């Protein structure tokens, strides 16, 4: 089978974990010692930013999973957080990742569970100076387990209003349909979501990248457009036909953003089109429990290249519960070191996160001003 996440990277050094650690260490030293150009982790953490690619279900960490299993009296093959962590080592490509993702999310049963998982995630993001969140959730992965759509929506919506009130964040939800399920099943959920539409920002596509994606979702995306919803889609990294899939999402689905979208860089015409149409690219330079040497560096360098090309790229957390508990600011700091980002580069990442977010322009203006004030009050 294709090893989709075991990506080639330029330079043998990145294939050698020892040498790669040495380069990262040298990078940290450099980024700290060059007078005038210093980018400290503190600066990165403190920057106000938006999180645009995080999955409710992928935010469940091993401790949270154990707590939910106990609270719901569920049977689980994993009795301790340590056993869960061992299981998460199984996720080494998109298919095995989805296997563990499904196991983790099966711990959520009640409205309270959905509320608690979402709220814990918002608290993590708040601690990383995220001021605006657009969070994915996967309704089909719950309704097919017998959980009513209303249970999911009531739980996550009460978490949203609590976090907005108590933490001062702004929050929206993106309903993700599974790429490996039928268009009919997606349409059923889309129609059932109508009572909640004022509280849903947009739709997306995730899960295994197969079976007719993206063509089969043309009708769903057209309908979502009629309903006034924003539109995005995952195009995971180095999948079979990644470039064709990105073209399809742009031409057939009318997406405003691509989630991941690293393979845009493989096609000069795609680069031009994505730039001209101001398509947002939500890249996730995450670390798996089974670390794949070179994977983070490959994504970090792609981010740097996108920044240099003037593309609207952002750094995002994706599935922090399954990916070592790392959130957006942790990942930005790693990318800064791995790709030697300048201070202007890291500020551009935060600026892009507001530019491509689906907030009203009046709020966008406030968020951008907050970022400008932060930068001005942290002289180089
Ligand atoms: N890709 C595809 N499906 C997913 C992802 C992802 O990044 N995260 C959760 N489900
Ligand atoms: Zn994702």
Separation between Cα atoms, residue 172 and residue 298, nearest integer Å: 30
State the distance from the centre of ligand 2 to the C-alpha of 156, rounded, in angstroms.
18
Which tokens belong to 289? 């429990």
The domain spanning residue 337 has which CATH number? 3.20.20.140
Contact 299, 285 (CB under 8 A): yes
pLDDT tens track for 54-106: 999 999 999 999 999 999 999 999 999 999 999 999 999 999 999 999 999 99
Contact predicate 291/92, CB 8 Å: no
In the structure encoding, which two tokens stand for residue 342, read together? 């300048």
Question: CA dist 330 to 45, 127, 155, 320, Å?
Answer: 8, 11, 28, 10
Q: Is residue 321 part of a domain?
A: yes
Assess if residue 32 is contained within a domain.
Answer: no
CA of 99 to the centre of ligand 1 (A): 11
| Cβ of residue 234 lying under 6 Å from some atom of ligand 1 | yes
Answer yes or no: is 196 within a domain. yes
Provide the token pair at 300. Answer: 């970090």
Does residue 136 belong to any structural domain of this protein?
Answer: yes
Looking at the structure of the chain, the number of domains it has is 1
Range(s) of the domain holding residue 142: 14-27+39-376
Q: Is residue 33 part of a domain?
A: no
For the residues of 149-166, what is the DSSP string, one character each?
HHHHHHHHHHHHHHHHHH
- Within a domain: 194: yes
Q: Rounded to an integer, what distance in angstroms lies between the CA atom of residue 250 and that of residue 274?
A: 9
**Lookup result for tokens 């015409």:** 269
Closest residue by Cα to atom 7, ligand 1, is 318
In a domain, 6, yes or no: no
Q: Is residue 7 part of a domain?
A: no
Per-residue pLDDT tens digits for 156-181: 999 999 999 999 999 999 999 999 99
> Ligand 1 in contact with 53 (CB < 6 A)?
no
Average pLDDT, the chain: 91
- HSE toward the beta carbon, residue 301, CA cutoff 13 A: 12
Of all protein residues, the one whose alpha carbon is nearest to atom 10 of ligand 1 is 207
Position 118 scores a pLDDT of 98
By three-state DSSP, how is residue 281 classified?
Answer: strand
> If you compute the radius of gyration of the chain from its CA atoms, what whole number of angstroms results?
20
Predicted confidence (pLDDT) at residue 3 exceeds the cutoff of 60 = no
Neighbouring-strand partners of residue 259: 234, 282
Residue 211 pLDDT: 75
> Rounded to whole angstroms, how far apart are CA atoms 327 and 248?
30
pLDDT tens per residue across span 294-345: 999 999 999 999 999 999 999 999 999 999 999 999 999 999 999 999 999 9
318 lines ligand 1 (CB under 6 A): yes
| pLDDT tens-digit series, residues 228-243 | 999 999 999 999 999 9
pTM above 0.75, yes or no: yes
Q: What is the DSSP letter of 80?
A: S
Q: Which residues contact 304 (CB under 8 A, 6 or more apart)?
A: 335, 339, 340, 341, 345
In this predicted structure, what is the pLDDT of residue 20? 40
- Give the ligand at the shortest distance from the Cα of 323: 1
Tokens for 209, please give them: 């990248």
**What was the pLDDT predicted at 380?**
82
């Amino acid at each position: 089978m294709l090893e989709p996440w075991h990506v080639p990277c330029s330079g043998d050094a990145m294939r050698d974990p020892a040498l790669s650690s040495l380069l990262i260490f040298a990078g940290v030293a450099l980024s700290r010692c060059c007078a005038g150009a210093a980018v400290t982790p503190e600066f990165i953490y403190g920057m106000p930013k938006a999180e645009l690619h995080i999955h409710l279900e992928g935010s469940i960490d091993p401790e949270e999973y154990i707590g939910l299993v106990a609270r719901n009296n569920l049977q689980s093959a994993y009795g301790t957080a340590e056993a869960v962590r061992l299981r998460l080592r199984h996720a080494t490509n998109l298919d095995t990742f989805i296997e563990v993702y499904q196991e983790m999310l099966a711990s959520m049963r009640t409205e309270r569970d959905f509320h608690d998982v979402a709220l814990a995630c918002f608290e993590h993001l708040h601690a990383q100076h995220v001021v605006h969140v657009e969070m994915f959730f996967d309704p089909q992965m719950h309704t097919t387990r017998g959980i009513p759509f209303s249970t999911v929506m009531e739980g996550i919506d009460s978490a949203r209003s609590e976090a907005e009130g108590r933490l001062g964040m702004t929050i929206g939800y993106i309903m993700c349909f599974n790429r490996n399920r039928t268009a009919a099943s997606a349409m059923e959920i889309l129609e059932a979501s109508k009572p909640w539409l004022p509280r849903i920002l947009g739709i997306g596509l995730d899960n295994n990248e197969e079976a007719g994606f993206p063509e089969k979702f043309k009708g769903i995306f057209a309908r979502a457009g009629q309903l006034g919803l924003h539109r995005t889609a995952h195009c995971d990294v180095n999948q079979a036909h990644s470039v064709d899939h990105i073209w399809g999402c742009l031409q057939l689905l009318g997406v405003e953003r691509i989630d991941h979208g690293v393979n845009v860089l493989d096609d000069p015409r795609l680069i031009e089109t994505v730039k001209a149409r101001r398509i947002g690219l939500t890249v996730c330079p995450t670390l798996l429990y089974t670390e794949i040497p070179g994977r983070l560096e490959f994504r970090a360098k792609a981010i740097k290249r996108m920044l240099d090309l003037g593309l609207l790229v952002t750094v995002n957390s994706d599935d922090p519960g399954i990916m070592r508990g790392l959130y957006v600011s942790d990942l930005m700091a790693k990318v800064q070191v791995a790709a030697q980002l300048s201070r202007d580069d890291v500020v551009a990442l935060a600026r892009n996160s507001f530019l491509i977010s689906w907030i009203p322009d009046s709020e966008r203006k406030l968020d951008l001003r907050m970022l400008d004030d932060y930068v001005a009050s942290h002289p180089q």
